[in-house]
Amino acid sequence: MDMNRLFSEAQKLIPGGVNSPVRAFRSVGGTPRFIREAAGAKVTDAEGREYIDYVASWGPMILGHSHPGVVRAIREAAGRGTSYGAPTEAEITMAKKIVDAFPAIEMVRMMSSGTEATMTAIRLARGYTGKEMIVKFTGCYHGHADSLLVKAGSGVATLGIPGSPGIPKRLAELTLSLPYNDSAAVREAIRRFGSDLACVIVEPVAGNMGVVPPEPGFLEALREMTREQGILLIFDEVITGFRVAYGGWQNLSGIAPDLTCLGKIIGGGLPVGALGGRREIMEHLAPTGPVYQAGTLSGNPLAMAAGIATLDLLQGKSYADLEKKAETLCNGYRDLFARKGIPVRINRVGSMFTLFCTGGEVTDFASASLSDTERFGRFFQGMLKEGIYLAPAQFEAGFVSFAHTDQDIARTLEACGKVLDAGGM
Ligand code: HOZ
């Protein structure tokens, strides 16, 4: 099926032709690939062209697409019914897996998206502390709940939208957005607003302004300052959960947040979100407590089956091997660009990476924004022509999966070499 025809049909029926803005290729130009099928590290578009995929559905597909073990689990679950609106044993299994993997999580509530998880985390923090203001970091993206769409990353940054109409100004005023990696700014905000602050929410490794790692001491300082002031610390590990380790960044750093938001990988490619944390806080959620949260498809049996199968499979895998592949890819990119004298900055944490079209260090949204997004667009288009599917926006993470082979990495670097040789950048 012709891609341009699909896109123009889609645009008549769906705003922008897509059901999530960054898919629209707005910042890189051209027509979005409509995907027909996917297996392993490859996606195939509606015209039958195959690509090595580094989007991985924006993170969830850490085992690759259509992993037979995950597909089997979904099929078997579907045969027993697709939704009951009643509790199931699979939800206990999933909760146990999450609690076992995260030392800071004693209880967990399953939901249907990462946005629900972060939105509920904020509501719970407000309900638990009785305070209303929150701190987030500029360029971090925590889904599209009203309180969190202030100076956000991902599509909001890509489209250059400063905030969003529809969010009451008085609500947005309760959100302070501070520079990532700047603990002095947090100290000052706490000094000024400490008694009104319910929580600090952070992506422990930023993934939605492109990948930006936390500087040594930043998260530790957040933990110390929030604990001293009775402010809840929320780690949004929707991307990093089971991506950087079996567990999350908190397992690697040894920092225990009060609440943790999860999604993506724990659903094995099906819609999912989860909020976990200390029992005493979590029990403020209804029905044990007064903070309301609910969902018809929460703990959906298909999502639980896919998630449980994914986590079981991940337990037998080596994250060090996964990281090695990403390291080879990123080192290869660095060499190729250096040989041409084209300035780029490649940030990588485990199997997440971003190639920023800037020569300087990228440590926060201000430095990420120095990227030449037009140059990125040209690189993206060149790679796409060579059969490599990258995230269609500068301010996003790329993901290497267990399904990527050494040949896939080599082919990707070969494609990059061709794009650079062609001189289009
Ligand atoms: N917010 C996601 C990227 N950080 C994009 C989700 C999507 O378009 O699927």
**Residue 107 maps to which CATH number?**
3.40.640.10
Residues 131 and 277 occupy one common structural domain: yes
From the CB of residue 98, how many other CB atoms can be counted at a distance below 10 Å? 23
Check pocket membership of 154 for ligand 1, CB cut-off 6 A: yes
Query: What pLDDT band is residue 425 in, cutting at 50, 70 and 90?
Result: confident
Residues 235 and 140 occupy one common structural domain: yes
Number of domain units in the chain: 2
Distance from the alpha carbon of residue 192 to the mean position of ligand 1, in angstroms: 34
Spatial CB neighbours of 162, under 8 Å, sequence gap ≥ 6 = 151
Single-letter amino acid code for the residue at 104: A
Q: Whose CA is nearest to atom 1 of ligand 1?
A: 154
Residues 211 and 115 occupy one common structural domain: yes
Query: What pLDDT band is residue 152 in, cutting at 50, 70 and 90?
Result: confident
- The number of angstroms, rounded, from the C-alpha of 311 to the middle of its chain's C-alpha atoms is 17
Check pocket membership of 22 for ligand 1, CB cut-off 6 A: yes
Number of the ligand 1 atom closest to the C-alpha atom of 19 = 8
Distance from the alpha carbon of residue 21 to the mean position of ligand 1, in angstroms: 8
Spatial CB neighbours of 159, under 8 Å, sequence gap ≥ 6 = 21, 26, 27
Check the CA dihedral 214-399-57-152 and report its sign: positive
Residues 225 and 173 occupy one common structural domain: yes
Query: What pLDDT band is residue 150 in, cutting at 50, 70 and 90?
Result: confident
**Residue 371 maps to which CATH number?**
3.90.1150.10
Taking CA atoms, 282 is separated from 14, 275, 293, 332, 369, in Å, by 37, 9, 11, 45, 37
**pLDDT averaged over every residue in the chain:** 96
Single-letter amino acid code for the residue at 334: R
pLDDT above 80: residue 159: no
Residues 395 and 259 occupy one common structural domain: no
332-367 per-position pLDDT tens digit: 999 999 999 999 999 999 999 999 999 999 999 999
Distance from the alpha carbon of residue 20 to the mean position of ligand 1, in angstroms: 6
Give phi and psi for 81, each to the nearest 5: 110, 150
Whether 353 and 403 have beta carbons less than 8 Å apart is answered as no
Domain termination residue (choose one: 314, 346, 380): 314
Residues 238 and 269 occupy one common structural domain: yes
Burial of 30 (C-beta count, 10 Å sphere; 0-12/13-18/19+): middle
Check pocket membership of 396 for ligand 1, CB cut-off 6 A: yes
Taking CA atoms, 87 is separated from 98, 195, 398, 402, in Å, by 17, 39, 35, 32
Residues 375 and 296 occupy one common structural domain: no
pLDDT above 80: residue 298: yes
Instruction: Please state the rounded mean pLDDT for residues 417-422.
Output: 96
CA gap 204, 231 in Å, rounded: 17
Residues 30 and 145 occupy one common structural domain: no
From the CB of residue 114, how many other CB atoms can be counted at a distance below 10 Å? 30
Number of the ligand 1 atom closest to the C-alpha atom of 239 = 4
pLDDT above 70: residue 162: no
Q: Give residue 376's pLDDT.
A: 97
Instruction: Give percent of the chain with pLDDT exceeding 90.
Output: 93
Check the CA dihedral 128-133-139-142 and report its sign: positive
Domain termination residue (choose one: 314, 330, 349): 314
Residues 238 and 334 occupy one common structural domain: no
Residues 204 and 332 occupy one common structural domain: no
Residues 309 and 330 occupy one common structural domain: no
50-72 per-position pLDDT tens digit: 999 999 999 999 999 999 999 99
Structure tokens at 55: 């989007």
Q: Give residue 316's pLDDT.
A: 92
Helix spans in 173-318 (H): 183-193, 218-229, 249-253, 279-282, 301-315
**For residue 76, what are the domain limits?**
68-314
Ligand 1, pocket-test mutation among 14, 19, 20, most atoms within 8 A of CB:
20
Check pocket membership of 144 for ligand 1, CB cut-off 6 A: no
Structure tokens at 382: 């060149």
Query: What pLDDT band is residue 194 in, cutting at 50, 70 and 90?
Result: confident
Domain termination residue (choose one: 314, 348, 363): 314
CA gap 353, 346 in Å, rounded: 7
Check pocket membership of 23 for ligand 1, CB cut-off 6 A: yes
Distance from the alpha carbon of residue 195 to the mean position of ligand 1, in angstroms: 34
Check pocket membership of 58 for ligand 1, CB cut-off 6 A: yes
Instruction: Please state the rounded mean pLDDT for residues 283-304.
Output: 98
Distance from the alpha carbon of residue 102 to the mean position of ligand 1, in angstroms: 25
Active site residues: 141, 236, 264
Check pocket membership of 182 for ligand 1, CB cut-off 6 A: no
> Is residue 111 classed as helix, strand or coil in its secondary structure?
strand
Q: Quote the strand ranges of 17-160, DSSP E.
A: 35-39, 42-45, 50-53, 107-111, 133-137
pLDDT above 70: residue 92: yes
Query: What pLDDT band is residue 153 in, cutting at 50, 70 and 90?
Result: confident
Q: Give residue 424's pLDDT.
A: 72
The DSSP H or E segment spanning 119 is: helix 114-129
Residues 138 and 280 occupy one common structural domain: yes
Distance from the alpha carbon of residue 22 to the mean position of ligand 1, in angstroms: 6
